Every structure is written in structure tokens, then in C-alpha cells.
């Protein structure tokens, strides 16, 4: 009878250990996925704001002036080093 009890306890400990390992692996995976989700949400918000800004004519004008050195008639662009 004692051998049966010892075998049962050992079996229960092995099963518990396996389940605990699965739990810790799943917890780590969940944490990583939640971090990725938070990052994706931030990226999504930034892209939504950029799309909204691209609909604004003054923002587009500023962007074109900075990126492509676009000027209005009569304007002169000075390129300063370090800017």
C-alpha cells in the first residue's frame, strides 16, 4: 500500500511539474504578445494621425517644403550645414 501511495505522489508531482512548465511558457508567450499588441496599437495611432495630417493642406505644404525644398515664387532657400 505504501508503494502505491509513493508512486501516486511521484506521478502527481511529475504531472504538476509538466503543467507548471506549460503554464510558464504560455505566460511568457502571452506577455510577449501583449507587448507586440501595444506596439502595434501605437503604430496604428501614429499612422492614423499621419493620414489625418496628410489631409491638411498646410501640413502638406510644410512637408513638401522640408522634404523636397519646394519654394513659392520669389523665395530663396538657404541650406545651412548641420540642419
Grid coordinates representing 7?
Answer: 508512486
Predicted confidence at residue 83, as pLDDT, reads: 58
d(CA 47, CA 43): 6
Residue 83's alpha-carbon distances to 10, 39, 68, in angstroms, are 70, 30, 14
- Cβ proximity of 13 and 7 under 8 Å: no
- Using alpha carbons only, what angle is made at residue 62 by residues 56 and 66, rounded to the nearest 5 degrees? 145
pLDDT tens digit string along 2-22? 898 999 999 999 999 999 999
pLDDT at residue 65, rounded to an integer: 85
Cell output for 73? 515664387
- pLDDT tens-digit series, residues 35-82: 999 999 999 999 999 999 999 998 998 888 888 888 888 888 777 887
Amino acid at each position: 500500500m505504501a508503494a502505491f501511495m509513493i508512486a501516486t505522489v511521484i506521478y502527481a508531482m511529475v504531472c504538476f511539474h509538466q503543467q507548471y512548465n506549460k503554464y510558464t511558457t504560455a505566460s511568457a508567450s502571452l506577455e510577449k504578445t501583449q507587448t507586440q499588441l501595444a506596439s502595434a496599437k501605437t503604430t496604428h495611432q501614429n499612422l492614423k494621425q499621419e493620414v489625418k495630417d496628410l489631409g491638411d493642406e498646410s501640413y502638406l505644404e510644410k512637408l513638401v517644403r522640408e522634404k523636397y525644398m519646394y519654394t513659392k515664387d520669389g523665395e530663396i532657400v538657404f541650406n545651412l550645414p548641420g540642419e
